[in-house]
Structure 1
Amino acid sequence: MVAPGFIDAHTHSDTAAIDAVDAVDGAEGRLDTAQVFASVVQGVTTEIAGNCGHSVFPGRYSGLAALGRVHSAIGRVNHLASLIGHGTVRAAVVGYSARAASASEITRMAAVVDEALAAGAVGFSTGLIYTPGSYADTAEVTALARVAARHGKPYVTHLRDEMAGVEGALEEAIAIARNSGAALHVSHHKTAGKFAWGRTEVTLARLAGLRDAGMDVTCDVYPYTAGSTGLGAMLPPWAHDGGPARLLARLREAGQRDLLRKAIAEGVPGWENTVGNGGWDRIVVAGAPRHAGYQGRTIADLAGAAGVDALDLVAELLLAEDGDVTIISHSMREDDVRRVLAAPFAMIGSDGVPKPGLPHPRWAGSFARVLGHYAREEGLFGLPEAVRKMTGAPAARFGLTDRGVLRDGAHADLVVFDAARISDRATFAEPLLPPTGVRLVVVGGAVVVRDGTVLRDRVATGAGPGRVLAC
């Protein structure tokens, strides 16, 4: 089959290629080429980054153009487009304090968002479970989403709660879209945790009803029952007040640990509380460079083996790793995942987080898994619909003109795959195994993958066909 190059609607791969080039061989936590190329060997020719309220500009890079220059210099294997992240903007203007933004600060944030969207960012994203974005109220987010609406670009949100409070969080997102005038795109839609299982029947019906009434609403989804994020996100928002250094300082104090234990056990109003909705036995360490032996094991198992309380183990691990620990959370149910995948307004986004260790297999397996397992084997939808969800649908959502289609004059981003053989091989134990059945991947007219192998000479420094796209 010949298809348009796949477009990953949701990644966190903003600087993966840069980090792999910049790191010294053998350095602790260095990304290797298997992680950098895991996306393109599935046929992904464009990645949408800057999701969940976190973009690398303003901050590490001054803007999209600066990011593009660096990527062009190193030689990208595929294209990258980026949203502008609310959390990053808030950190730059307001800082990491747990407080409301002033009117003047909201005006300054709006100016930053406006500049980024004018320069080609493809939308405005929030991650309302992550600090400092979670410190914002609905009015602040609405004011910034109005800027996206003026540019005709979507409001893309990781909801404030995807667990017990998912319905209320979805209503907040709907209100933000309505009152701002922006199109709404719900990131990695799910109903996670034992108190929310089955609620996709309600949330999807709500989204479908809005679409029937004329509202521009879409979502993305990855084809797994586990999510992935930072270990610090398992702690309540107040623990992060003041930024990463203040979090680590709190973790050193026995009294603060007791308060954290209590918050997880009893909950905090407005907080998602992943562990309270599931348990430490569902949280697996994915990436901890200085504790490789912890990777692939649950927090509950590690704490039991060490004879310590789970919260104390988490605190010591975060302190030893300077706060940089990724986890996998087994929090969803298969029927909910299937329901979202089948929704006609859902597109495919891996939510890939290319980090060292044992990352979630979704980074290397999502697209092949949809085509092989869910379309061919399970018959959840036909092959044309599966391809639409990973090509034309995300291209339309993010304004990627002449991508996601096969026609004369369109961009020459293509994938050739064997529909009878394409399958994901990535597992939680071996998360970077490439798929089978991908024959050819073409980016910008250049063949970059042949029979599952990246042609390294085609992506040499400064010569790669991939670009940072401005839309």
Structure 2
Amino acid sequence: MAEECNVAEVTLLENGLIVDGSGGPSWTGDLLLVDGRIAASGVGLRQRLPAGLDIADVAVMDCTGQAVAPGFIDCHTHDDAIVLRTPEYLAKLSQGITTVVTGNCGISLAPYATAQAKPPLTLLGGDSFRYATLAAYREAVHLARPALNVAALIGHTTLRFAAMDDLTRAASGEERAAMAALLDAAMAEGALGLSSGLFYEEAFAAPADEVTDLARVVARHGGVYATHLRSEMQSILEAMHEAGDCAFDAGVPLVLSHHKCAGPTQWGRTRETLPLVDQLAQRQDVALDVYPYVAGSTVLREDLVDGVIDVLLTWSDTHPEFTGRLLADIAAEWGVDQKAAARRLMPGGACYFQMREDDVERVIAHPLAMVGSDGLPHDRHPHPRLWGAFPRVFARYWRGRGLFTLEQTVHKMTGMTAKNFRLAGRGLLRVGHAGDVVVFDPARIADMATYDQPVQASVGVVAVYVNGRCAYREGVLEVSAREGRMLERGKA
């Protein structure tokens, strides 16, 4: 077990396996953190500290046998509100995550203020929408002092709620202008870009050119466009072409969110979708994110209940007593079919066991794939990805399946993500970069969260440093060291 964390401003991590986030070879050596940044890296740093530093004033951690990597960046989260409500956020820190990208799937907390949000915005908590501008949200993050960093996408669906009174149709010219103005202001305030969730009913009526117009605003600011495709089922190829064309026409990089082929009739189709990703990548910047599970999770929807796949209830307002149970068992108990049971349980949320393992493996091994948790922190019985996604990639797909090297695994969680989302000064162990660092045991890091017991911290994450201060040591939060901040696009 490594030494207890110290919250000193100067920390020396000695004799660790340095996995720098670039994907390049690892090496054994030291890393020095001074005043929130990486001050030096090399071998024998104890003997050549910067002028004015004495080893007696340095918190030294022996990292022999441990990997030292950039703090992991969770590029696909719905953490907009939870970082304000629960700023210590153990679910993410305990995985080695030091930065969360919020506002995914078209759903962002800003810029929209309302007393009671409607689905799918309720995935962020229905009473959380108090921030009419990104600047107001940034101030809330500053006051909350979260234990990790926050970077925000702006949701297309949120913009539609802010500008439209009827979301079952395309936006008018005046409404498009209002959305563009809100997005332009948010981009000027440091937003990473735009996200969309055309899969959801509240955005499904938006034609491709509505999204393209907004993506052009993002392009002017040098941002990114991330999308939950209009379909991840039968029409997935058409949806991918739509997303690619929108981004290409707007001149903006594209991220395909939680790439999957959902539903038994689609299993195996990653053999079609991934070559299309490669084809798109020949003409434009494309990346994708993926979570390492065969089940997804979202609101409870009757159209996703097919009587074939398992559906696990994560929450229900009408019947909270059934939370954590399979929909098939609830339906049998009531003597109805699963669709009827789903209607009785609404509004609610569920895990849908929609994917097949070989598809997950092909996606996660793709060279353009990043890791994102897509966890829903407000669910009463959350999908285990909320607590376990990142360690699970190490345990199952690196150690267990050997799909990639340790260096490639870390790259998918750090340097690749920072580059794709314009997070300057993060994602690499470079002198001058932010002191976001995770120390973990490569032989032991693993997820513990399960579908039955989803709220369990992972093991093998030894220490987590956020902006140079120790925020977590295995099993223990350093509550006095909440050094997270709101990150702006392109600014270190």
User: Which sections of structure 2, spanning at least 5 residues, go unmatched?
Assistant: 1-66, 113-128
Match of 1:40 in 2: 93
Shift of 1:184: 0.9
| Partner residue, 1:284 | 312
Letter in 1 for 2:404: F
- Kindly indicate whether the alpha-carbon contact (under 8 Å) linking 1:441 and 1:450 is maintained by their aligned counterparts in 2: yes
1:399 pairs with 412, 419, 422, which one?
A: 422
Which amino acid in the other structure matches residue 334 of structure 2? A
Does structure 2 retain, via aligned residues, the 8 Å contact 1:287–1:355?
no
Give 1:358's aligned residue. Answer: 381
CA contact (8 A) 2:398 2:405 kept: yes
C-alpha distance in 2 between matches for 1:99 and 1:67: 29
Q: Verify the 8 A CA contact 2:259 2:288 in the aligned structure 1.
A: yes
Judge conservation of contact 1:287–1:356 (CA < 8 Å) in 2: yes
Unaligned runs of 5+ in 1: 22-32, 236-272, 459-463
Does structure 1 residue 467 correspond to structure 2 residue 450? no
Instruction: Quote the Cα distance in structure 2 between the aligned partners of 1:359 and 1:230.
Output: 12
The answer for the alignment partner of 2:370 in structure 1 is: 347
Q: Distance in 2 between matches of 1:164 and 1:280?
A: 16
Distance of 1:223 and 1:393 partners within structure 2: 17
**Corresponding residue SS for 1:38:** helix
Which TM-score applies when normalising by structure 1?
0.83
Q: Residues 100-158 of structure 1, C-alpha deviation per residue, up to 9 Å, x if partnerless? A: 21112112211111111111110100000113211201111111111111111111100
Helix, strand or coil for the counterpart of 1:52?
Answer: helix
How do residues 161-310 of structure 1 correspond to structure 2 at under 5 angstroms?
161-211=231-281, 213-231=282-300, 234-235=301-302, 273-275=303-305, 278-279=306-307, 282-288=310-316, 291-310=319-338
Do structure 1's residue 5 and structure 2's residue 68 form an aligned pair?
A: no
Q: Distance in 2 between matches of 1:169 and 1:11?
A: 22
Task: Report if the CA contact (8 A) 2:307-2:338 is conserved.
Answer: no
- The one-letter code of the counterpart of 2:345 is L
Note the alpha carbon deviations across 1:273-297, whole angstroms, 9 max, x for none: 423xx43752210123663431222
Map residues 91-170 of structure 1 onto 2, 5 A cutoff.
91-170=161-240
Secondary structure at 2:255's aligned position in 1?
strand
TM-score (norm 2): 0.80
Cα-to-partner distance string for 1:395-431 (whole Å, 9 max, x where unaligned): 0011110100101110010000010111111100111
Whether 1:371 aligns to 2:394 is yes
CA contact (8 A) 1:149 1:180 kept: yes
Assess, with a 3 A threshold, how the Cα gap between structure 1 residues 397 and 429 changes in structure 2: closer, same or farther.
same
Q: Distance between the aligned counterparts of 2:232 and 2:469, measured in 1?
A: 40
Distance 1:64 1:3 in 2: 31
In 2, Cα distance between equivalents of 1:451 and 1:56: 31
Cα deviations by residue, 1:1-54 (Å, 9 ceiling, x for unpaired):
100000001000101132348xxxxxxxxxxx7xx3111111000000100001
Which whole-Å CA distance do the structure 1 matches of 2:310 and 2:484 have between them?
Answer: 38
Opposite residue 175 of structure 2, the aligned amino acid is E
2:261/2:269 contact within 8 Å kept: yes
Superposed displacement of residue 298, structure 1: 2.1
Distance 1:105 1:219, change over 3 A: same
Aligned to 1:242: none
Any conservation in 2 of the 1:96–1:131 contact (CA below 8 Å)? no
The answer to whether the 8 A contact 1:440-1:452 is kept is no
| Per-residue deviation, residues 148-176 of structure 1 (Å, max 9, x unmatched) | 11111111100000011111111111111
Q: Please identify which structure carries the higher strand content.
A: 2
The 3-state SS of whatever aligns with 1:428 is coil
Separation in 2, partners of 1:77, 1:279: 42
1:380 aligns with 2:427: no
The 3 A distance-change label for structure 1 pair 431 and 289 is farther
CA contact (8 A) 1:219 1:347 kept: yes
Match for 1:465: what amino acid? E
User: C-alpha displacement at 1:304, in angstroms?
Assistant: 1.4
Equivalent residue pairs, number: 406
In 2: Cα distance, 1:130 partner to 1:215 partner: 26
Superposed counterparts of 1:415-454, under 5 Å: 415-454=438-477
Q: Deviations over 1:322-375 (max 9, x none)?
A: x3x211000000000000000000000000110242100001111101112211
Q: Distance in 2 between matches of 1:332 and 1:86?
A: 26
CA contact (8 A) 2:107 2:196 kept: yes
Once residues 348 and 171 of structure 1 are traced to their aligned partners in structure 2, the CA distance between those partners, rounded to angstroms, is 23
Aligned residue identity for 1:12: H
Contact preservation (8 Å) 1:280, 1:310:
no
Provide the C-alpha distance between the structure 1 equivalents of 2:167 and 2:94, rounded to a whole number of angstroms.
Answer: 41
Instruction: Verify: 1:314 aligned to 2:384, yes or no.
Output: no
Q: Helix, strand or coil for the counterpart of 2:462? A: strand
Q: Name the stretch that deviates more: 107-116 or 441-450.
A: 107-116
CA-atom RMSD in angstroms:
1.6
Distance in 1 between residues matched to 2:440 and 2:162, nearest whole Å: 44
2:29 corresponds in structure 1 to none
Match of 1:247 in 2: none
Pair 1:290–1:97, CA change in 2 (3 A) = closer
**In structure 2, what is the equivalent of residue 24 of structure 1?**
none
In 1, Cα distance between equivalents of 2:85 and 2:339:
31
The answer to whether the Cα contact below 8 Å between 2:244 and 2:280 also exists between their aligned partners in 1 is: no
Alpha-carbon contact 2:318-2:345 (below 8 Å) kept: no
The runs of at least 4 consecutive aligned structure 1 residues that moved more than 4 Å come to none
Name the residue aligned to 1:26: none
Residue 314 of structure 1: CA displacement? 2.5
